[in-house]
A and B are shown apart, each in its own frame.
Chain A
Amino acid sequence: MENMMHDHDVMLRMRQIKKRFGPLEVLKGIDLEVCRGEVLAIIGPSGSGKSTTLRCLNRLETIDSGSIEIEGQFLVKSENGAAVYAAPAESRRLVGCMGMVFQQFNLFPHMTVLENLMEAPLQVKKMTPAEIQPAAEDLLKKVGLYEKRHAYPSRLSGGQQQRVAIARALAMKPDIMLFDEPTSALDPELTGEVLKTMRELAAEHMTMVVVTHEMAFAREAANRVIFMADGNIVEQGDPQTFFRAPKEPRTQAFLKNML
């Protein structure tokens, strides 16, 4: 019984994920669990496999072996050492439980802000504009961009574009939000507004996995920090302990460079 309760609260479970690009083994057996309402920060040097980990979760990359469970259901399972994916419709449904925010925003440039938010609910959930528009406008108010709802993305600042991208992902009502360096493409003075939006989301107990170079965000907003290097999880822990007393030499060296 206790075990079942526990299982219910595990939103994401990766087991022994291996992924290679040609001769390069990028993920060397990643084990990761994320619980409901948890904010997980993933940090690590460039090329350590942080983005690839996220991209394997939502099937932007295909894993070579291992298994991924999303809310208790297999996106991909290991059968005789090979990775076997769920059928396309099921796979799309599971991936649909997660929203993704990219470093480069990837807004649809030919649509207004509001249209960007409404597109997926219209197409994927087959909702009518009348059904989706109020919710979309509420989301825009929440990220402070309601006044820009009829603007095209090219007219917005980077920080505004990224907040629209967050709202666009939220419009699909995901259970989990994935962020891949959401502030790395922004001028320093614009990162604050995006981090603020993310903090608000964390305060509402959204389950979040955030790849970031913002140590302050990892320290203050995350419940758990993971340090990756060379395709492995080297160390993890709660932010206080992790930043105050990192155990592994690689973590210590990395943190020393960051601060």
Chain B
Amino acid sequence: MEKLMETVVAILGGSKVTLELFLVTLVMALPLGLLVSLARVSGMKLLSRLMELYIWIMRGTPLMLQLLFVYFALPMIGIRLSDITAALLAFTLNYAAYFAEIFRAGIQSIERGQYEAAKTLGMTYTQTMRRIIIPQMIRRVLPPISNETINLVKDTSLIYILAMNDLLRVARTIVQRDFDMTPFFIAAVFYLAMTFVLTWIFKRLEAHYGKYDA
């Protein structure tokens, strides 16, 4: 029993790194993704094409590769990042690209009549996006954003290749030391708990934004 508690505490320690990576990535990638999606629909050709290229690279290569690239390649050109910063950079750039595509699809699903109504009322493009289009878009993209966010929880385990003591690595270390599978089950419970909380939060958000639906 005492040993079990010890294991739980150790894994709890590991989950700090996991949680930090998850939360910081989310907080940075969501606004960055929104900016990228706005650049994509802005009508500025060059900017839009550049963002398209960025999204293509980020979605077309494995996150693992991007992670290794940031971790090993940047020091070669003289940029030294701490382990967690390197991981955050790779994760943010990757997830921003996925979020950007979701936001873009959401923006493009809003009827043209909304833009026209705003325009005939004298609103500028910026006002229209900020007050009319983006709020409606957010409501529509909640389900796919929720999916991506749950993927992010699980993707955080990728940083174990950077020798960072995240939830999964801590669990594996104990398994290898004790020849006992229990830590894996405890790790699974941690991941499930996080996903459970997220699912609940998104349900609440959908209910909140859904109040104007018929």
Residues of A within 8 A of B (CB): 58-60, 92-93, 95-96, 98-100, 102, 104, 106-111, 119-120, 123-124, 152-155, 168-169, 172
Contacts and interface: CB of A to CB of B under 8 A. Distances in A.
A154 B119 contact: no
Contacts of B127: 123-124
B199 interface: no
Contact of A110 (B116, B120, B212): B212
Given A95-B122, A124-B123, 19 more contacts: A60-B119, A60-B120, A92-B124, A93-B122, A99-B120, A102-B113, A106-B111, A106-B114, A108-B114, A108-B132, A110-B209, A110-B212, A119-B131, A120-B121, A120-B123, A123-B131, A124-B127, A152-B212, A154-B213
A104 B114 CA distance: 10
A173 to B, nearest CB: 11
Interface string B103-129: 000000001011011111111100100
B139 interface: yes
Contacts of A98: 120
B27 interface: no
Interface string B32-52: 000000000000000000000
Contacts of A59: 119
Nearest to A98: B120
**4 nearest interchain CB pairs?**
A120-B121, A106-B117, A154-B214, A100-B120
Nearest to A123: B127
Interface in B195-214: 209, 211-214
Given A110-B139, A124-B127, A119 B212 contact: no
Contacts of A58: 119-120
Contacts of A92: 122, 124
Overall SS of chain B's interface: helix
B144 interface: no
The listed residue with most B CB atoms (<10 A of its CB), out of A60, A102, A120, is: A120
B116 A106 contact: yes
A152 B212 CA distance: 6
Contact of B136 (A109, A123, A152, A155): A109
Contact of A106 (B113, B123, B124, B211): B113
Contacts of A95: 119-120, 122
A102 B115 CA distance: 12
Contacts of A123: 123, 127, 131
A106 B110 CA distance: 11
A120 B128 CA distance: 10
B75 interface: no
A123 B121 CA distance: 10
Contacts of B114: 106, 108
B143 interface: no
B116 A120 contact: no
A110 B214 CA distance: 11
13 contacts: A92-B122, A92-B124, A96-B121, A100-B120, A102-B116, A104-B113, A106-B117, A108-B117, A110-B212, A123-B127, A124-B123, A154-B212, A169-B120
